[in-house]
Amino acid sequence: MSSQQPLLLVDNITVHRGGVPVIENVNLTMNAGEFVGIVGPNGGGKSTFVQAVLGVLKCHQGKVLINGQPPMTDGVVGKVAWVSQAAANLPKSVRLTVRELVSLGVLNKRTWFQLNQGRSSVIDESIRMVGLEDVADRDVNQLSGGQRQRAVIARALASQADFLILDEPLVGLDRASRNGLLKLLDGFCHQDKKTILMVSHDVTAMRKTAHRLVYLEDTVRFDGPPPEFPSLEDLASLRGIVDVHGGHHHDHSEAECTHDHGTHAHVDIHLKEAE
Ligand SMILES: Nc1ncnc2c1ncn2[C@@H]1O[C@H](COP(=O)(O)OP(=O)(O)O)[C@@H](O)[C@H]1O
Ligand SMILES: [Mg+2]
């Protein structure tokens, strides 16, 4: 693996779901140590993109390479960890302490043997990194939402993956937990040389934290540093949206417009809320 090689190369991928293209001609390159935030409206294809990067969804066209290799191959599995929002919504029937949950992170064939000896220190270190040492022996269901999200991140860290992919980890967290989590992830990048690809519809949060922002809606419509991220108005024109109250033929209320224009109107509201 040469150091020149990008950690992630997404080369012109198109991904279908239910026989229909959901994202098309998507390109993205990420170098080790970067923190890239993927933002975009609901239904814009962010989770689809993440699953294609992980190799869970096959590309109809184009390819994904992680350290020069396709996802889900031996050299890649174990180096990539995925944290979904749903991962923190553990069923109430699951009785696990934080330490037990984090221990599950080392259950992968590549690292099991080599970790067997240093296992508990990896687990303790992961718990420490997310700041949950005081609640390590507590049942995960007794934790706050923010603490649970940290616990599933600790599980990902325990796998010793150096590429973390997080899909909407901020959903349901209060402002303090959100800021704490973002600071934690930023620290992983700078101190621990992790690479982070994080999906969020919280543009404001991503703008403050990510090194680079990617706006994904069917395809990549912006890729650049946060200060250059377009305003809401510019985003609308990037997405070919015209002001429905301007030159259009509608005479119904704004509330109805929101419904009629489905995702697009919803998106504007969504993004505004996030501001
Ligand atoms: N399992 C599925 N089968 C068919 N279509 C799907 C499936 N999952 C998502 N989609 C569609 O793919 C599009 C993108 O969804 P998704 O990737 O979840 O977007 P996001 O994560 O940005 O909200 C949506 O139109 C959604 O309806
Ligand atoms: Mg999603």
| Residue nearest ligand 1's atom 25 by CA | 43
Which residues have C-beta atoms less than 6 Å from ligand 1? 17-18, 22, 40, 42-48
Distance CA 96, CA 179 (A): 26
Which residue is closest in CA terms to ligand 1's atom 18? 47
Look up tokens 């985003």; give the residue.
235
Domain 8-231+238-243 CATH class label: alpha beta
Measure the CA–CA gap between 9 and 138, rounded to whole angstroms: 40
- Mean pLDDT across the stretch 132-138? 97
Give pLDDT tens digits for 82-105. 998 777 777 788 899 999 999 988
| CA 9 / ligand 1 centre spacing (Å) | 22
Q: What's the CA-to-centroid distance between 35 and ligand 2, angstroms?
A: 18
Section 25-42 average pLDDT: 96
Please give the DSSP secondary-structure letter assigned to residue 194: -
Q: How far apart are CA 232 and CA 235, in angstroms?
A: 5
Name the residue with higher pLDDT: 42 or 237. 42
Q: What is the average pLDDT across 176-182? A: 88
For residue 129, count other CB atoms closer than 10 A to its CB.
Answer: 19
**pLDDT 10s digits, 211-235:** 999 999 999 999 999 999 998 778 7
Residue 216 CA to ligand 2 centre (angstroms): 11
| pLDDT higher than threshold 70 for residue 256 | no
Q: With H, G, I as helix, E, B as strand and everything else as coil, classify residue 47.
A: helix
Judged by its nearest atom, the ligand closest to the C-alpha of residue 18 is: 1
In the structure encoding, which two tokens stand for residue 86, read together? 């749903």
Best mutation site among 15, 23, 47 for ligand 1 pocket (most ligand atoms within 8 Å of CB)? 47
Whole-number pLDDT of residue 237: 75
**For range 22-27, the mean pLDDT:** 98
Whether pLDDT at 7 is above 70: yes
pLDDT of 239? 72
The predicted pLDDT at position 249 comes to 44
CA distance 235 to 39: 12
DSSP classification of residue 69:
B
Q: Residue 124: which pLDDT band, with cuts at 50, 70 and 90?
A: very high
List the domain boundaries for the chain.
8-231+238-243, 232-237+244-275
C-alpha distances (whole Å) from 41 to each of 3, 27, 45, 51, 203 are 34, 18, 8, 17, 10
CA–CA separation, 60 vs 57, rounded Å?
9
Q: In the structure, what pLDDT confidence band is assigned to residue 115 with cuts at 50, 70 and 90? A: low
Q: How far is the CA of 199 from the centre of ligand 2 (A)?
A: 8
Q: Would you give the DSSP letter of residue 230?
A: P
Residue 1 has pLDDT above 80, yes or no: no
- pLDDT surpasses 50 at 110: yes
What the block records as the tokens of 256 is 């109805």
Q: Name the closest ligand to CA 262.
A: 1
Answering whether pTM is above 0.75, one says yes
Tell how far the Cα of 201 is from the centroid of ligand 2, in angstroms. 9
Q: Look at 120 and 116; give whichever has higher pLDDT.
A: 120
Say how many C-beta atoms besides its own lie within 10 A of residue 220's C-beta. Answer: 19
Whether residue 25 contacts residue 31, with contact meaning beta carbons closer than 8 Å, is answered with no
Instruction: Identify the nearest ligand to the CA of 15 by its number.
Output: 1
Q: Is the pLDDT of residue 250 over 80?
A: no
In terms of C-beta density within 10 A (0-12 exposed, 13-18 middle, 19 or more buried), how is residue 218 classed? middle
What pLDDT score does 247 carry? 45
